[in-house]
Amino acid sequence: MNERLRELDKNMIASPLARYSSWQRRGDFIFLSGVIAVEPAEGRIIKGFSDLPDGIGATIGQTGEFSVDMKDGPILAQSWYIFNSIQAMMIEAGGSIDDVFKLVQYFRNLSDFPRYNNVRRMFFPNTPPVSTVVEVSAMMPSDEIVIEVEATAYLPEKE
């Protein structure tokens, strides 16, 4: 991971939007609350490619075609942002995203799964986590949220 992304990761750690913990350790396990694409410092929802750091859009499917990017942008941008946040939380916990072994994914629309899956594959190129996929009718705090991901990791405590 290059230094620029490492710095961005630390600044993008999801802050809870209500009274709960972003993550907690229980023995050798790390439990992450559901992560949504909200920039914590500003409370701004990630809505598309323009809300991501420069250069990321092109790596996750931005085409430059207005109609395609308007349709695919929300799920692709939110997916990247969520996995980047999960990666940052795992670094904060002393591990890496490779320690994540289970995901629960909540979609507003299951037809977004193929595009989401392409981004997920970028963060888990070798062994994908076990997964549960669910379609839901709404997510907090806004209808602009199209995906939420909950993660569990195995990270043995250092003695």
Model pTM score: 0.88
Contacts of 15-23 with CB under 8 Å at 24 or more apart are 15/40, 17/43, 17/140, 17/141, 22/89, 23/89, 23/92, 23/93
- The full set of domain ranges for the chain reads 3-154
Q: How many angstroms separate the CA atoms of 99 and 61, rounded?
A: 26
**37 is written with which tokens?**
């694409």
The pLDDT assigned to 158 comes to: 82
DSSP type of residue 46: P
pLDDT band with cut points at 50, 70 and 90 for residue 9 = very low
Q: Mean of the pLDDT values across residues 7-21?
A: 52
Which value, to the nearest 10 degrees, does the dihedral of the CA atoms of residues 9, 35, 69, 98 take? 60
What percentage of the chain reaches a pLDDT higher than 90?
A: 79
Q: Over the chain, what is the mean pLDDT?
A: 89
What is the β-pairing status of strands 130-135 and 100-107?
A: parallel
pLDDT of 20 above 80:
no
Contacts (Cβ under 8 Å, ≥6 apart) of 137? 108
Asked if the model's pLDDT at residue 5 lies above 60, the reply is no
Q: What is the CATH number of domain 3-154?
A: 3.30.1330.40
